[in-house]
Chain A
Amino acid sequence: MSRISRSFLLFVLLTSAACSSQRNMASPPASASTESPSAVSPSKSDSAPTSAPPSGATGMGLAPSEKENPSTGGAISGQLPVLPREVQIANATLLLEHEFLQLQASLSTCENACRVLASMERATRVLCSLTQGEERVRCEDARKRLKEARSRVRDACKECSNGVNTDPENPEP
Chain B
Amino acid sequence: MKHLLLLILFFTGISGCDIASSPGQNEVTCSCEGSSRPVDPALLSFLSKARAAHRQADALEGQKDRAGALAALNTLVSGPIPSKRSEIDEVLADTRARMAELQSTLGQWDAAEKEIERGLQHAPDTSYFRGHLFEVRAVVEEQRAASLTADPTAAAAARVRAIEAAEQAIKIQDQVLRKTLEKEAP
Contact = CB atoms under 8 A, between A and B. Distances in A.
Contact of B183 (A91, A109, A149): A109
A111 B34 contact: no
A124 B166 contact: yes
Contacts of A8: 9, 12-13
A119 B159 contact: no
A91 B38 CA distance: 14
A130 B162 contact: yes
29 contacts: A8-B12, A15-B16, A15-B17, A22-B30, A23-B30, A43-B31, A45-B21, A45-B26, A46-B24, A57-B34, A86-B33, A90-B33, A97-B14, A97-B16, A100-B13, A101-B13, A101-B14, A108-B10, A113-B181, A120-B169, A120-B177, A124-B170, A126-B166, A127-B138, A142-B166, A142-B167, A149-B177, A152-B177, A153-B181
Interface string A96-120: 0100110010001101110111011
A172 B139 CA distance: 17
B167 A127 contact: yes
B162 A18 contact: no
Specify which of A12, A18, A25, A53 lies most central, judged by the most chain B CB atoms within 10 Å of its CB. A18
B24 A116 contact: no
Interface in B15-37: 16-18, 21, 23-36
A149 B166 contact: no
A149 B24 CA distance: 48
Contact of B170 (A25, A89, A127, A130): A127
Given A43-B29, A97-B13, A127-B166, A53 B139 contact: no
Interface of B: 2-3, 6, 9-10, 12-14, 16-18, 21, 23-36, 38-39, 128, 131-132, 134-135, 138-139, 142, 145, 159, 162-163, 165-167, 169-170, 173-174, 176-178, 180-181, 183-185
A101 B16 CA distance: 12
Contacts of B178: 152
